[in-house]
Amino acid sequence: MNAATQKPFSLTVTLIILSLAFANTVLADDLKDANKELQKIDEKIEEKEKDLSKTNKEINLNSSQVNNLESKSRSLEATIKTGQERITAVLSEIKVLKSNIADKNRMIEEQKKILAHLLRSQYNMLITHNQFDDLIPQHNTYSFAADQKEITKKLGELTDLINLERLQLVKDEENLTTKRKEIETLNKQLANENVAIESAKAQTELSLVKARSEKEELEDDVEKLKEDRIEIQKEIEKLSSQYDGSFDEDDIPDNGEYARPVAKPYVITQGYGRTSFSYNYSSGAHNGVDYVAQGNQSVVAITGGTVLNTGNMGRYGYGKWVAIDHHNGLVSLYGHLSSVSVVRGQTVRRKQPIGIMGTTGFSTGKHVHLSIFVKSTFRVIESSSVRGVYIPVGSTVNPAKYLLSR
């Protein structure tokens, strides 16, 4: 190749390299912007969830207060009813006593009339007796006087007895009146207390309604923020997928007999490629296989290698993850771990535990996500907006090519 042709060729290569570098810079900037937006949404979700927790506590407290107030109100109502029944009974007793007193008074008046009549009759008889003293035998005179004295005595005793009984009745009436006033005072106090309880209950119920309304609003806010998070998650996946590069099939093994990332018994809840859930991903395809272990929760290396990196993507992406370089053109990644037990640069052997299955990141339940990346395309992009977050990207292959069939 002569110098004339070399210059255009070199210029073309330089332009291609500069274009790729510029494109990667733009993608990196876009990814950082998406990460910043996602971080803001995560912070808002955390804040809203704290408010929601506080509101739930207020609802529980208000509900408890309403129940206590209702119980106390029912107890007071029962006490008031009992008091009213006692007042009714006392009033009935007073009415009976008044009637008895009236009867006794009438009887006393009748007795007085009879007594007065007898006394007048005796007086007249005495006058008559004195006028005809010479005609009446002496012993009859003494007998008449004795009878008169006995009658007077008995009438006096009867009058005293009636007066005493009337005094007792009056005293009973006074006692019953006192009781009635005490019960009426108690009922007023209970009624006032009941009014206060009803007012407090109404205020508490109002607070409860307000808290429930706030709870609904907060739940709507959280749901909306979660939807926004999913949308931004898709955006991140879209940006990450643009880092996928082409690769030469000769650079990776044709097959293998790698171990499964979890021990039996397990269930594969989502396979590689297009699945019933993969519409949630911007690419429309799942870049790995999801396993749910039925027993042991340990996650193990599918084959030997070196820990290329570990990371924590928080509430999105893979959550807590581990990437292992198998030195044959492949890198295995294990996502959504609850904890990681290996460090970057550590050598691991086949089936060595590397973490515990979890539900961190963009996850709907406890499981482990296994992806197998082509090493030549694999990279970990550090986020400048979310400290300590690393985003694994690159081209993936179906893990089924390399895992033991059973």
> Could you identify the residue written with the tokens 């009781």?
179
Helix (H, G, I), strand (E, B) or coil at 293: strand
Strands (E), 301-343: 305-312, 320-325, 330-340
Q: Give CATH superfamily name and number for 247-406.
A: Glucose Permease (Domain IIA) (2.70.70.10)
**Which CATH code for domain 13-242?**
1.10.287
Q: What share of the chain is helix, strand, coil (3-state, %, to 5)?
A: 60, 15, 25
Instruction: Find out whether the peptide bond into 265 is cis, omega within 30 degrees of 0.
Output: yes
Report the Cα 210 to chain-centroid distance in Å.
15
Facing residues of 356 across strands?
298, 339
> Could you identify the residue written with the tokens 């790995």?
288
CA distance 330 to 398: 12
Q: Are the CB atoms for 261 and 290 separated by under 8 Å?
A: no
Q: What are the domain boundaries of the chain?
A: 13-242, 247-406
CA distance 188 to 1: 115
Q: Does the fold of domain 247-406 match that of domain 13-242? A: no
Give the contacts of 200 (CB within 8 A, at least 6 positions apart): 69
The radius of gyration computed from the CA coordinates of the chain, to the nearest angstrom, equals 52
Give the contacts of 348 (CB within 8 A, at least 6 positions apart): 301, 304, 305, 306, 307, 324, 342, 354
> Could you identify the residue written with the tokens 């008889």?
125
CA distance 190 to 182: 12
What one-character-per-residue DSSP string does 224-256 give?
Answer: HHHHHHHHHHHHHHHHHHTT-----GGGS-S--
CA distance 197 to 70: 8
**One digit per residue, pLDDT tens: the chain, 406 residues?**
555 455 555 555 455 555 545 555 555 566 666 666 666 766 777 777 777 777 777 777 777 777 777 777 777 777 777 777 777 877 777 777 777 777 777 777 776 777 677 667 766 766 765 655 555 455 555 565 666 677 677 767 767 777 787 787 788 778 778 877 877 887 788 788 778 878 877 887 787 788 788 778 878 877 876 676 666 566 566 655 665 567 788 888 888 889 999 998 999 988 887 766 655 555 567 889 999 998 779 999 999 999 999 988 887 788 999 999 999 999 999 999 999 999 999 999 999 999 999 999 888 889 999 999 999 989 887 765 556 666 888 888 999 999 976 6
What one-character-per-residue DSSP string does 206-228 give?
Answer: HHHHHHHHHHHHHHHHHHHHHHH
CA dist 184 to 89, 135, 173, Å? 13, 73, 16
Among 345, 342, 402, 354, which residue's Cα sits nearest to residue 374? 402
Burial class (CB in 10 A: 0-12, 13-18, 19+), 304: middle
pLDDT tens-digit readout, 147-205: 667 767 776 776 777 778 778 778 877 877 887 787 788 778 878 877 887 887 788 77
- Count of CB atoms within 10 A of residue 166's CB? 16
